[in-house]
Structure 1
Amino acid sequence: MGKDSAEQYESELAASQEHVEGTLASQQTFDPVAEKKLRRKIDLFVVPGVSLLYLLSFVDRTNIGNARLAGFEQDLGLAGNDYNMILSLFYVTYALCEMPAMLLCKLIGPGWFLPLTSLGFGVTTIGTAFCHTKAQIIACRLLLGIFEAGMLPGVAYYFSRWYRHAELSFRLGMYMIMTPTAGAFGGLLASGILSLDHFSTLKGWRMIFAIEGIITTCLAFIMVFIATDNPSTARWLSAEEKELAVSRVMSERMEQTEVNDKMNWKKLKGGFYNPVTLVTAFIFFCSNVVVLGISFFLPTIIRSIYPDKSKVHQQLLTVPPYVVGAFFLIFVSWLATRINTRQFLLFFSAPTVMAGYAILLKSTDPNVRYAAIFLCASCAFFGGSLCNAQVSANTVSDTARSIAIGTNVMCGYLGGLLATWTYLPWDGPMYPIGNGLNLAMSGVIGVASIAGLVWMKADNRKRDKMTPAEREELLSGLTPAQLADLEWKHPDWRWKP
């Protein structure tokens, strides 16, 4: 063997050994008993508080649908498409402030950001109770969009500091269950509030905003003092538990040296242009057209199905579909964690929702139409946990993950902007435009999910075929900081479907 050939062989052997060592490092094992104990502790101290904040954020966002049944439009002199316009303005500021909110969340830490932004939308909700003109309600909805912009992605980003990729889907499901729960809770709470004669000087729909806003504000104040920013600052963890918590997360962050890395442009760009982020964000866009169409217009749809029932009865009929949606959301999120995959489950959410909307388009029987709503709600809510878990699992650094989750949620709530115009007053009572669009969006979710899965597997096979020499050529001369900035472009990276 010649000198050049020998040197090449030794170089390839060294590169191959380095790859093996890197792979073994990324597969670092921990004491399963200690991990289980730590997970339970994190589940107890981290998940419940921020999940309740998200529940109240969704209640404060969608209670306008309950207020509509209680004379909201008549009291404010709204007509035509004014209600849809007011709904859509929330998503204008929501989308515009999504990225700045996530950068601020990264900068000051989610342990501070989440309670403070919750305090903002709680106070705004209280202010909505005192609106008397269309201009005033528009101003409140615009402010609400600003304060709520960072809530959903902020919680997903917060959880990614505490949990490994395989564990994240279920924990995201534990807080995303608050989306259908908010619908059920909001309906029950609204019906209870409307049974009151008055609240201070407020009556009717104004009581809904005032009481729900006060509840949010009180919880936000409490969370300011008890929220923990990351494992290293958790007073309720021992030194050994802190070390284990950090090590678990770092074991999956290739080439990274710290959990909470400093922001830089390359990592932000890598998180934003990550192919899985872009595909998943498109899926989340379609998912939110459906989910928020249900959240905002379910009371309206129920009223069109059962126009002769009382307002309180109509409010109560919105509850059961959300209960079914919550059950299936938590089950699928648990299953995604159990089998450590998300893409297939995103695909399987589509057929049932399509069947529900197909029935709503064709059937005129009230009971059949009401049953179809259960089909829609049963699988429509999967996207919240699965999409955010997918984006988190397929980014490397804390910085890239923050912007990737922000991108995903921003696109999702652009879907919310579209959803506000899907059920128009003149399109009732069958609402062919809204139901037809949701049927189409569900089909697109199925197609995009399979397309994303095929691409990830194909690109992983391409990376597997890379020779040690090719890998060495890509990495030679790079400093540790430059290696950390490669993110998904690193040849050792593999997509996680």
Structure 2
Amino acid sequence: MADDKVEIKHLEFTQAAAEEGQAATDQYGHSLVEFDPAAERRLRWKIDLAITPIICLLYLFCFIDRANIGNAALAGLKKDLDMKGYDYNVLLTVFYISYILFEIPSNMACKWIGPGWFLPALTLGFGICSIGTGFVNTLEAACGVRFLLGLFEAGLLPGIAYYFSRWYRRSELAFRLSLYITMAPLGGAFGGLLASAILKLDHFGSLHSWKMIFGIEGIITVGIALVAFFVLTDRPETARWLSDEEKKLAVARVKSERVGTTEVLDKLDLPKTLKGIFSPVTLTTGLIFLLNNITVQGMAFFLPTIVRTIYPNSSVISQQLRSAPPYVVGAFFTLMFPFLSWRFDRRLIFFVCSAPLMIVGYAMFLGSTDSNVRYGATFLVASGAFSFGALCNAQVSANVVSDTARSAAIGTNVMIGNIGGMISTWSYLDFDAPDYHIGNGLNCGAATVTLLLSAALLFWMKYDNRKREARDVDSQLAGLSVKQIQDLDWKHPGFRWKP
């Protein structure tokens, strides 16, 4: 009987924590609710099965539709569009102009419209752009389509990260993000295999050679987007596949980690938006993501070209196939590091562990001309590089409080990070082939700075937490309204950084 009373009290407490206007933490950030681990596991598994598969498919073809230009370049795109000098680099850069500009606005629109509609709409848009790339005949037309592709793809990576933060706890988020971030290295592998298969066709309608890659892959993307409109659930409260008790538990779990929060999905608010953008953790993590993206996006665009310089006598299809295995190994580490992050509820230590893999890989590129050594280096680089996408977004999400600040922080992180993508388009230049000393040296330096910044951020967060422990929370919050307290976000005296 006593156990029944405890269970009833616990259920009532969970329901109260899930209601609007009710906080789930005290003013020191301590959760007021204790959850049944078994019930949480069942709920988490249910959420995983319901939203992760379709999200992974969306991001898989987002990456393929972005990176297939590298496969098309090997299959004759440069020749057919009469590209000379730096024309290919310009074409890649155009994508990043719109991709960077629309990052934060797109993520705020995602919050306003709702991810359940917004993410499929973005996917439909870049799927149509991919199809359109198959019909371009001039460099100018290709640049125009790539600009639109960047506009639509800008919101998907931060949008998905923000979407997942509606469903998962802080410790759980990095691994769930890795489940779709893994689609980047797998997209590189699968994209190479798919491009090889497509190039064996004589034609696809009126499309031939490299144009078939864009046409076929774009049609697949459009189909997945249409399915997503019907199956993607916007938030726990609207999930038809959750019971009322499970909906309350899903909301209360998330709220129980957000100090001073009385509603999980707050309205758009300028002070909270600015807190998300200008958090020192957001800005520093964004810089780390920038350095990492020089490598990740550089591999996406140039790995087939790098493989061709390592194995110049192989056929085009063989070169495409050799670009796949490094991505498969990268996918394993993309899952492993965030999985460990989930178990230990730590992220920065895995920044520190990943960077040396990239440093050693690029040192091998710079120090050897042996084809086996250089090809082996691509595996090390992929192993260290791809996990940052999940870890960086989880890191900025974990270190703000409100939903609005979270949306702004993730958008800012990805916006700053993709400046690295723009830099990557100029990292491997034709005159530097076949050894690419400039590109490999740039990436080696970027990985080294990543290691130093990650260690410095870890030290600063622990140092600042010690300073926060000495604050008198009651006196600092005295006289403030609920709105003023919530607008403090990470400046709330009861908040602690989560490294």
TM-score range, shorter chain: over 0.9
Equivalent residue number for residue 490 of structure 1: 492
Q: Which residue of 1 aligns with 2:87?
A: 82
Q: Is the 8 A contact 2:281 2:399 kept in 1?
A: yes
Pairing 1:239-318 to 2, within 5 Å after superposition: 239-318=244-323
Kindly state the Cα deviation for residue 203 of structure 1 after the two structures are TM-superposed.
0.9
SS at match of 2:157: helix
| Mapped contact 2:338–2:391 kept (Cα < 8 A) | yes
Residues 333-348 of structure 1 mapped to structure 2, 5 A cutoff: 333-348=338-353
Which runs of 5 or more structure 1 residues have no equivalent in the other structure?
1-17
Q: Which amino acid aligns with 1:89?
A: V
Matched, 1:165 2:167: no
Other-structure match for 1:349:
354
Opposite residue 246 of structure 1, the aligned amino acid is V
SS of equivalent to 2:346: coil
Does 2:54 align with 1:52? no
2:435 to 427, 430, 436: 430
Q: Which residue number corresponds to residue 386 of structure 1?
A: 391
Alignment of structure 1 residues 1-40 onto 2, 5 Å: 21-23=26-28, 25-26=30-31, 28-40=33-45
| 2:213 pairs with 1:211 | no
Contact 2:58 2:224 survives alignment (8 Å): yes
Q: Which residue of 2 aligns with 1:322?
A: 327
Alignment of 1:418-497 (within 5 A): 418-466=423-471, 468=472, 471-497=473-499
Hey, what's the Cα distance between the residues in 2 that align with 1:472 and 1:321? 54
* Aligned amino acid, residue 136 of structure 1: A
**CA distance in structure 1 between the partners assigned to 2:446 and 2:303 by the alignment:** 18
Report the counterpart of residue 204 of structure 2 in structure 1.
199
Letter in 2 for 1:124: C
* Deviation for aligned residue 1:141: 0.4
Determine which of 40, 63, 70 is the counterpart of 2:75.
70
Paired amino acid for 1:346: F
1:21 deviates by 4.5
Shift of 1:28: 2.5
Mapped partners of 1:412, 1:200: distance in 2? 38
User: Per-residue displacement from partner, 1:279-329 (whole Å, max 9, x unpaired)?
Assistant: 101100001011111111000000011111000000000010000000011
Report the secondary structure of 1:228's partner residue: coil
* Residue in structure 2 matching 1:139, options 126, 138, 144: 144
1:223 paired residue among 217, 228, 249:
228
Other-structure match for 1:233 = 238
1:198 aligned partner, one-letter code: H
Shift of 1:100: 1.1
Q: Secondary structure at the match of 2:102?
A: helix
SS at match of 1:494: coil
Q: Give the aligned partner of residue 187 of structure 2.
A: 182
Which position in structure 1 is the counterpart of 2:11? none
Distance in 2 (CA, whole Å) between partners of 1:354 and 1:430 is 17
Aligned equivalents of 1:481, 1:273: Cα separation in 2: 20
**TM-superposed deviation, 1:25:** 4.7
The alpha carbon displacement at 1:27 in A equals 5.6
Q: Determine the structure 2 residue equivalent to 1:402.
A: 407
Query: What is the deviation of 1:367?
Result: 1.2
Corresponding position of 2:367: 362
Shift of 1:51: 1.4
Pick aligned residue for 1:154 from 159, 164, 175: 159
Alignment-mate amino acid for residue 448 of structure 1: L
Q: CA RMSD in A?
A: 1.3
CA shift at 1:23, angstroms? Answer: 4.2
List runs of 5+ in structure 2 lacking aligned partners: 1-22
Alpha-carbon distance in structure 1 between the residues aligned to 2:408 and 2:455:
24
- Whole-angstrom CA distance in 1 between matches of 2:409 and 2:32: 24
Contact 2:427 2:442 in 1 (8 A): yes
Task: From 105, 108, 115, give the equivalent of 2:110.
Answer: 105
**Match for residue 422 of structure 2?**
417
Q: Which amino acid aligns with 1:181?
A: L
Rounded to whole Å, the distance in 2 between the matches of 1:102 and 1:169 is: 19
State the TM-score, normalized to the length of structure 1: 0.95
Deviations 1:98-142 (A, max 9, x none): 111111101101111100010000000000000001111000000
Number of matched residues?
Answer: 477
Residue 477 of structure 1 aligns to which amino acid in structure 2? G
Deviation of 1:47 after TM superposition, in Å, equals: 1.0
C-alpha distance in structure 2 between counterparts of 1:222 and 1:180, whole Å: 24
Moved more, 397-406 or 48-57: 48-57
> 1:335 and 1:27 mapped to 2: Cα distance?
27
How many Å separate the matches in 2 of 1:183 and 1:27?
45
C-alpha distance in 2, partners of 1:226/1:179?
Answer: 22
* Partner in structure 2 of residue 15 of structure 1: none
Q: How far did 1:413 drift?
A: 0.5
- What's the offset of the Cα at 1:26? 2.1
- Cα distance in 2 for partners of 1:29, 1:422 equals 51
- Distance, in Å, in 2 between the alignment partners of 1:68 and 1:321 is 20
The separation in 2 between residues aligned to 1:31 and 1:352, in whole angstroms, is: 39
Between stretches 224-233 and 25-34, larger displacement belongs to 25-34
Instruction: Give the corresponding residue for 1:331.
Output: 336
Letter matched to residue 230 of structure 1: R
Look up the SS of the partner of 1:46 in the other structure: helix
